Structure 1
Amino acid sequence: MHLPRAIQAYFDADKAHDGESLIQAFAPDAVVRDEGQLYAGHKAIVAWWRHAKAKYQHTAEPINMDRKNDVTEVHARVIGQFPGSPATLKFAFRIEGDRVVDLEIGA
């Protein structure tokens, strides 16, 4: 599966536990929606990601991708320290240029 560059960068950095590389996949004014919360901007996004990594000790492996209008949906198998693991979660990305501007994670 060939993911758009920004999305591949997100999953590569996540797998490598590399917050500095992960944040480079996002536009400065990007937003992330996860577990009913909104995180806006680089500082909030990297704090969200670090907190989630520490809490859930998870890995996410993309298994398929679908494009719907301006949204690229990636379903990933997520394994970690949470009820129902492993689970398939949907990562809905909006990209502008070569950066993620919006990411929503859900079931």
Structure 2
Amino acid sequence: MNLPNIISELVKAQNKFDSGAYANCFTEDAEVVDEEKKHKGQIEIQNWIDKANKEYGATMTPLDFNEGESLLSAETAGAFPGSPVVLKYHFQLFNDRIKYLKITT
């Protein structure tokens, strides 16, 4: 599967539980929406993913990428009820970085 480089980097960072590398995939003013909560800016995003990594230890396995919609479907597995689950990662990219990410089921 051909993923944009920045999304490949995000998946690698997630699977290594590297919160700093994960946050660096985003623009300075990026926004992430997960479980209906918003996290704005690289620092908030890093804090959110660091907490999630410690709590859930989730890894991502890309299943499908719709380039036209910038939509990644990935099996996400970790220490949470219903694991593994297929989640949808809705991206908006800007200058080879992620500007917006919404995670849905």
Same fold (TM over 0.5): yes
Instruction: Tell me if 1:106 matches 2:104.
Output: yes
User: How far apart are residue 67 of structure 1 and its match?
Assistant: 2.9
Conserved 8 A contact 2:61-2:76: yes
- The count of aligned residue pairs is 105
Instruction: Tell me if 1:37 matches 2:37.
Output: yes
Number of the residue aligned with 2:78: 80
User: How far apart are residue 23 of structure 1 and its match?
Assistant: 1.5
Map 1:1-107 onto structure 2 (within 5 A): 1-68=1-68, 71-107=69-105
C-alpha separation in 2, matches of 1:4 and 1:23: 16
C-alpha separation in 2, matches of 1:67 and 1:8: 13
Q: Secondary structure at the match of 2:3?
A: coil
Runs of 4+ in 1 over 2 A off after TM superposition: none
C-alpha separation in 1, matches of 2:36 and 2:24: 24
Deviation track 1:12-66 (CA, whole Å, cap 9, x = no partner) reads 1111111221122100000000001000001100011011111111111111101
What TM-score do the two structures reach when normalised by structure 2?
0.95
C-alpha separation in 1, matches of 2:47 and 2:23: 10
Specify every segment of 5 or more residues in structure 1 that has no aligned partner in the other structure, as ranges: none
User: Percent identity among equivalent residues?
Assistant: 31
What TM-score do the two structures reach when normalised by structure 1?
0.93
Q: Secondary structure at the match of 2:74?
A: strand
The one-letter amino acid paired with 1:89 is: L
